[in-house]
Structure 1
Amino acid sequence: MKAVGYHVNLPIDNPDSLQDLELPAPTPGERDLLVRVQAISVNPVDTKIRKNSAPPAGQAKVVGWDAVGTVEAIGSRVANFQPGDRVYYAGSITRAGANSELHTVDERIVALAPKSLSDEQAAALPLTTITAYELLFDRLGVAPGGGAGQSLLIVGGSGGVGSILIQLARQLTQLKVIATASRPETQQWCRDLGAHAVIDHSKPLAGELLAAGLGTVDLVACLTQTQQHYAQIIECLKPQGRLGVIDDMQGLDVMQLKSKSISLHWELMFTRAMFETADMHQQGKLLAEVAGLVDAGRIRSTASTRFGSINAANLRKAHALIESGKAHGKVVLAGF
């Protein structure tokens, strides 16, 4: 089968950083679906793995944790899908990625793809949707339909996770949603997705909130550069507020949270699949819920940039854009 992967960790401007490959087709395990991949999207995790995770000697590593495709075969214990089903999912970081013609994935973290979206549009959603949903409801502890009288500050509102988090918070809670973005086009993107207000994270956050007449907030979802914004976030949060984070940080001083009794919550959407937790099936369930919201016209795809077919040259361009920090929404590719 065709695939895109790498043998050594290289900068993305090196032609060998991602290569077109021919690999054996995978065999589904007893809980697996064998999916013929039709579209993918690219996430920051793809670039981090490509730069830092070396494959075993003599082998290639395939990344990619967002896919839409058609089920070709199922394992002996699969209960909820049949060949021919059109599905979407993010997969598991402990398994091969989906930048390949055929891919295996545990059925518990899969759902039928939204019927109203193209393959590219649907491929933009799974990883960021799971991250945003778990961050909002499981980590920050907002009750579905709740949040009346409370405010949520989303730092990095125009990125992949922020773009879906704005929508989920508006559609499924009563929170006042404040997003951050630093450029006119990304600020407008956040407003179009439903943010009640947008402030500039290139300026001190507390000052921006004050200038907008917003004051302190109850919840913060910091999706990028948490260390850079950390002191300002603490200033912005009300006493007993909650801070949810997804990015990598070294040496974060949690003692700074003590005086306000601020709680810190990590979100990694791969945790359930990585440890095969008892509630692993909740990821498939939430993806099914969001597919219903999409088909009802309440949630829109966050696909914003299309790079053509799935091959090494196009994926190198996609990785380069993600690494530049200038992408908004999601980068998608379709077809081999």
Structure 2
Amino acid sequence: MEWFEHYHWINKAISQLDPETQYEEIFRLMSSYRLSDFMNNLIYAVTFPNFILDEWGSEAVWREDGGKMIEKATRRLEETENNNMVWWYYGPSHERTKKSVEDINKRHEFWASKYPGNFSHNDDYIYVLAFSAVLMDRFLRRLGLHGFSEKEKIAAHHFWRDMMPLFYAEGRTPLYGFPADWDEMMKLCIEYEQTPKKFPPKGRAIAMSIYEEFAFRYFPPGFRWLGRRIPLALSLDSTLATLHIEAPNVILSWLITIFFSWMMWFTGTFLPEPKKAFIVELEGASPAEKKARREHLIKTDKSYSSYIARQYGGSFSGCPINRMRSTPELPPGMEKFS
């Protein structure tokens, strides 16, 4: 049907591309168009806690007082998602992607000087890269929907394989050991997640602050209990177990899963696919619109910081939110959202 082809053009475009040579374009089509602030925030809430399950990872993020997880929670998310969207849209061969990753490498170098050894774990980097490749396939299948096609799996693997050399571990040490194919990526992720880990108090604080931020941003006061439970219901069981966070009850988890499954099926079946990538829309906004967005983020962060202090009485699982002014901060020029 003509209207269907007009509305749903992405899969048709992907079908005409070669995943062995045009994987950057395929991944751009897979990941850059069906986005929104809400979905970016939800995927961030479901994803990031998986990356701070070791003491060294959580310490480098939470630091002494929560850092940006408390004071600039929404702007931190925005910055993370903006970097991701640059990578997804432009691909590992593009100079914008290389600059974006190098900025992150420089930040890691700075924080490594404050927390020596915390950024030296090659396995952690490889897990994050492999997880990023399989993330949406696993998320869709968790909802009972179709995951990636074989062509999309090949493209996702090659895309993130090429992202690996752009990153460095501590001391500008090159990364190594990226999985050879899709199945190896999945195996690596599952084995990493099933490896027993010591409970990280700061990791729990980070995760709880992320779940709270999602609920605060998108749900009114009377429904924030539900907002907190949505990412919990869609999170990995192993992550929640390591962080000593209780999952929602079975019935509520089932209802949340069914709702998001239906929502994604409905939008994918009946709504038109955007002609512009989400990042192109954001970057194409007028100066006034960009200023208004920034001011809204700042206002949201100020409100959230006060809210989280009231909710938790100034502490997260033994980690004081004391807003110590002596806490190290990034040098001028490294902080995109000040």
TM range (shorter): under 0.3
Q: Which has the higher helix share?
A: 2
TM-score by length of 2: 0.26
Q: Which has the higher strand share?
A: 1
- The structure with higher relative contact order (CA 8 Å, sep 6+) is 2
